[in-house]
Amino acid sequence: MIELVLADRCTDCDTCVQVCPTNVFDAQPGGPPVIARQEDCQTCFLCELYCQSDALYVAPNCDEPVAVDAEAIVASGLLGQFRRDSGWHEWAGQSPNLHWRMGELFARGRKPVAAPTP
Amino acid sequence: MTLTLETDVLVIGGGLAGCWAAIAAAEAGAEVILADKGYCGTSGVTATAGPNHWWVPPDPEKRAQAVRERNARALGLADPRWMARIIDTTWRTLPTLAAYYEHSITAGGVPHYQSLRGPEYLRALRRYAEARGVRILDHSPALELLLHADGSAAGARGVRRQEGPPAGRDWTVRAAGVIVATGGCAFLAKLLGSRNNTGDGHLMAAEAGARLSGMEFSTYHTVAERHSTQTRSASYAFADYFDAAGREIDTGGDPDVTLPLARALLAGPVYATLARMPVDLRAILPQIQPAILLPFQRQGIDPFTQRFTITLQGEGTVRGTGGLRLADEDCQTDVPGLYAAGDAATRELIAGAISGGGAQNSAWAVSSGTWAGQAVARLAHDRGRRAETPVEAAGGAGLRPRGTPATADLSRLLTDGVRAEMLPYDKILFRRGPVLARSLATLDGLWRDARDHLAPGADATARVRAREAAALVACARWSTATALARPETRGLHRREDVATTDPALAHRLSSGGLDEVWVAADITVPAITAPAAAPATQVA
Ligand SMILES: Cc1cc2nc3c(=O)[nH]c(=O)nc-3n(C[C@H](O)[C@H](O)[C@H](O)COP(=O)(O)OP(=O)(O)OC[C@H]3O[C@@H](n4cnc5c(N)ncnc54)[C@H](O)[C@@H]3O)c2cc1C
Ligand code: SF4
Ligand code: SF4
């Protein structure tokens, strides 16, 4: 679930308020949005994808809130990973969309089915 | 103050099906309003995933073979003509997105249209719809339908939850016809992208008199890392599974691992590793599905060398097949002027008794949306908007309680009650007659509470939650009653107490009703009268 809005990175653009499909954030006059309805978060990471300042952190646990260490997360370099891998915004062209190869995962992963015993 | 609008076509839901419906209606010259509960572009189960569409070139022999093969697996409930139709419509329609989606160019210089990455796909659909003049209302869940005196659909009413006072700003849209594209009902499982898919459209339509079909086929499950929403099965093709003692779980070589894993999960924790994924694929996985590794990285787990705990997330009707029953080839429901598209509609006609996930469901969302959009545009043209006539609001539970409004958080009690009946593996995947009967009695009790005491809350969120709770209870009842009325095992519907398939039950079951839920055999297939399409001119 969404755990962090990093005030020092946030530019107050309110994009996350607009794009979060479950209306988790509330915009605040003259400040970063607040996480107002964390329990509605569907852990889809899409707010991170749209936040060009990498100011949001979604913890992977979708069942309950977890304690997070903001400093450690900033230091880890994990912020912005989704945008980088998706090739969005300034990463355009640097990480081509290879989704068309999804079928290969299914095809190469399938275990050979054992021949039926007579 | 209420936002009051009138238009030709109202689309409720802005996921895959709703977007394609809005685009088709606008292309046909209609004025269109699309209202989504969340944000059209990130909302819905496609936006978080990346669907592969059923994609067969216009070679008559290839198409006939594709239909034959898939129909043979549909266990008697699909219709080959409907299957052929969606292959054709998808083939013609999907490439029209090209101006808004950067298609990969594969071998031979051919753009790859068939499978698209979710966030980019839905962003493209939003831009396409806007470019065609569709007016999008984000964060504007519909709460109930409006009906003409003759019972036909006249529009809908909802709330703009980011506007106005704490209770939100009401909206009312009058239209010549309404398309319900609210997705499947996932019973608030932690299925990726499904938080908004609470069956609201099913309830609204049923209140207007629509019937449902195939609600027993609501048992699809997908494996994911425990506590994670990443229900993306492609990488798990490489998974090996182990129990707590480290013994490998035999999944029988079948790509559908649900039953062996569910049995193992009922006995204790289950572990997986993706060690069999070749290094070349590991390297590009973030470019295929950028979100799938995030939960692992954030927990310091290397899924390729380590074992991690897994779960199975329920999907309800999302990658099941049940939904609103269709009365004609345009996807009109049993209510005149009310249409259903995508996962909100039954997909039995194109997928039968097994899941349509993986190819059919997306092709269905594109096609059913397109047909419904074109049909309502025609309706608006032929009959007009009828926007001046008096209408009645059709909503009940969660809007207008018949008795004293509850003071406690009844929405929460109801949703917890539904989850307790619809999510445990032993109740859903290993169904038994007596257990289903007990579930149904419990759910009937929840419905009476909802009908008599569930009142809209004071703020916008509580108003939406009350309707979601009512919808979840209603969908759970249709699903459970239909499962009880099918004493056999067929595809997704598995009865532990009747393991055989009964040839006498090779027909669809329709259901409906609010105070009294009913189930009935349904042997009709909506006829297709449209002339066979001319050969596609689209590139091969
Ligand atoms: C992880 C995953 C992967 C999948 N992959 C594939 C695949 O590869 N191939 C395939 O064929 N199928 C796939 N599917 C199946 C998928 O369900 C369909 O292909 C498709 O998403 C259905 O689109 P839809 O528009 O009907 O529903 P959704 O995309 O779920 O959209 C429903 C929309 O309705 C809105 N809504 C709900 N209630 C209201 C309300 N009261 N008022 C207004 N709006 C409302 C929601 O906010 C949402 O935007 C996948 C499903 C999942 C979960
Ligand atoms: S999108 Fe990012 S920068 Fe914009 S308001 Fe949200 S957190 Fe701040
Ligand atoms: S993860 Fe998804 S649901 Fe949660 S806050 Fe971000 S956008 Fe909203």
pLDDT for the residue B535? 43
Taking the Cβ of residue A63 and every Cβ of chain B, the question of whether any pair is shorter than 8 Å is answered with: yes
Give the separation between CA B283 and CA B304, rounded to whole angstroms: 11
Report the residue of chain B nearest A66, measured CA to CA: B227
Give the separation between CA B426 and CA B367, rounded to whole angstroms: 35
User: The CATH number of B222-312 is which of 3.40.50.10860, 3.90.700.10, 3.40.718.10, 3.40.50.140?
Assistant: 3.90.700.10
pLDDT for the residue B536? 43
Q: How many domains does chain A have?
A: 1
Give the separation between CA B473 and CA B332, rounded to whole angstroms: 24
pLDDT for the residue A118? 46
- What ranges do the domains of chain B cover? 3-218+317-392, 222-312, 410-501
Which helix (H) or strand (E) segment is A35 a member of? Answer: strand A31-35
Q: What is the pLDDT along chain B (540 residues), one digit of tens a residue?
A: 899 999 999 999 999 999 999 999 999 999 999 999 999 999 999 999 999 999 999 999 999 999 999 999 999 999 999 999 999 999 999 999 999 999 999 878 889 999 999 999 999 999 999 999 999 999 999 999 999 999 999 999 999 999 988 999 999 999 999 999 999 999 999 999 999 999 999 999 999 999 999 999 999 999 999 999 999 999 999 999 999 999 999 988 777 899 999 999 999 999 999 999 999 999 999 999 999 999 999 999 999 999 999 999 999 999 999 999 999 999 999 999 999 999 999 999 999 999 999 999 999 999 999 999 999 999 999 999 999 999 999 999 999 999 999 988 999 999 999 999 999 999 999 999 999 999 999 999 999 999 999 999 889 999 999 999 999 999 999 999 999 999 999 999 999 999 999 999 999 999 999 999 999 999 888 888 875 554 444 433
pLDDT for the residue B170? 97
Taking the Cβ of residue A95 and every Cβ of chain B, the question of whether any pair is shorter than 8 Å is answered with: yes
> A115 pLDDT exceeds 60?
no
Residue A34 domain-assigned (yes or no): yes
Topology of the domain covering B410-501: Methane Monooxygenase Hydroxylase; Chain G, domain 1 (1.20.58)
Q: Residue B399: CB partners within 8 Å, gap ≥ 6?
A: B143, B144, B393, B456, B466, B467
DSSP of B19-41:
HHHHHHHHHTT--EEEE-SS-TT
* Residue B421, ligand 1, Cβ within 6 A: no
To test the ligand 2 pocket, which listed residue (A3, A4, A6, A16) has its Cβ within 8 A of the most ligand atoms? Answer: A16
* B44 phi, psi to nearest 5 deg: 95, 160
CA B395 to chain centre: 21
Residue B63: closest CA among B25, B44, B91: B91
User: 3-state DSSP call for residue B185?
Assistant: strand
Residue A117 domain-assigned (yes or no): no
Report the residue of chain A nearest B36, measured CA to CA: A21
Cβ burial of B99 (10 Å; 0-12, 13-18, 19+) is exposed
Q: Residue B149: CB partners within 8 Å, gap ≥ 6?
A: B389, B390, B392
pLDDT for the residue B532? 53
Domains B222-312 and B410-501 share a fold: no
Please tell me the number of Cα atoms within 13 Å of B95 on its side-chain side. 15
**Using an 8 Å Cβ cutoff, are B472 and B414 in contact?**
yes
Give the separation between CA A3 and CA A69, rounded to whole angstroms: 10
**Using an 8 Å Cβ cutoff, are B322 and B212 in contact?**
yes
Find tokens 């915004």 and name the residue: A89
Taking the Cβ of residue A102 and every Cβ of chain B, the question of whether any pair is shorter than 8 Å is answered with: yes
- State the average pLDDT over residues A8-31: 97
Please tell me whether the overall predicted TM-score, pTM, comes out greater than 0.95 for this model.
yes
Of A87, A101, A113, the CB nearest to B253: A113
**Using an 8 Å Cβ cutoff, are B137 and B11 in contact?**
no
**In this structure, which ligand is nearest to the CA of A41?**
3
Whether residue B139 and residue A50 make contact (CB cut-off 8 A), yes or no, is no
DSSP of B355-424:
--TTTHHHHHHHHHHHHHHHHHHHHHHHH---TTS--EE---TTTS-SSPPPSS-HHHHHHHHHHHHHS-
How far is the centre of ligand 2, averaged over its atoms, from the C-alpha of B101 (Å)? 25
**Using an 8 Å Cβ cutoff, are B146 and B129 in contact?**
no
Residue A55 domain-assigned (yes or no): yes
pLDDT for the residue A112? 66
Residue A7 domain-assigned (yes or no): yes
Taking the Cβ of residue B195 and every Cβ of chain A, the question of whether any pair is shorter than 8 Å is answered with: yes
pLDDT for the residue B539? 39
Identify the bridge partners of residue B490 per DSSP, sorted by sequence position.
B493
Whether residue A22 and residue B227 make contact (CB cut-off 8 A), yes or no, is no
Residue A112 domain-assigned (yes or no): no
Any residues with Cβ below 6 Å from ligand 3, and which? A 2, 20-22, 24, 41-47, 58
* Residue A12, ligand 2, Cβ within 6 A: yes
Identify how many contiguous H helices and E strands chain B contains and give both numbers: 14, 18
Q: How confident is the model at residue A114 (pLDDT cuts 50, 70, 90)?
A: low
pLDDT for the residue A113? 57
Give the separation between CA B370 and CA B372, rounded to whole angstroms: 6
Find tokens 């069956």 and name the residue: B199
How far is the centre of ligand 1, averaged over its atoms, from the C-alpha of B369 (Å)? 12
Question: Which residues in chain A are contacts of B104 at CB distance < 8 A?
Answer: 96-100
**Using an 8 Å Cβ cutoff, are B275 and B283 in contact?**
no
Domain around A35: 2-107
Measured between its terminal Cα atoms, the distance across chain A in Å is 51
How far is the centre of ligand 3, averaged over its atoms, from the C-alpha of A40 (Å)? 8
**Using an 8 Å Cβ cutoff, are B107 and B377 in contact?**
no
Whether residue A17 and residue B289 make contact (CB cut-off 8 A), yes or no, is no
Topology of the domain covering B3-218+317-392: FAD/NAD(P)-binding domain (3.50.50)
The CATH number covering residue A96 comes to 3.30.70.20
Whether residue B294 and residue A114 make contact (CB cut-off 8 A), yes or no, is no
Residue A90 domain-assigned (yes or no): yes
Task: Look at chain A and count its residues.
Answer: 118
Amino acid identity, position B343: D
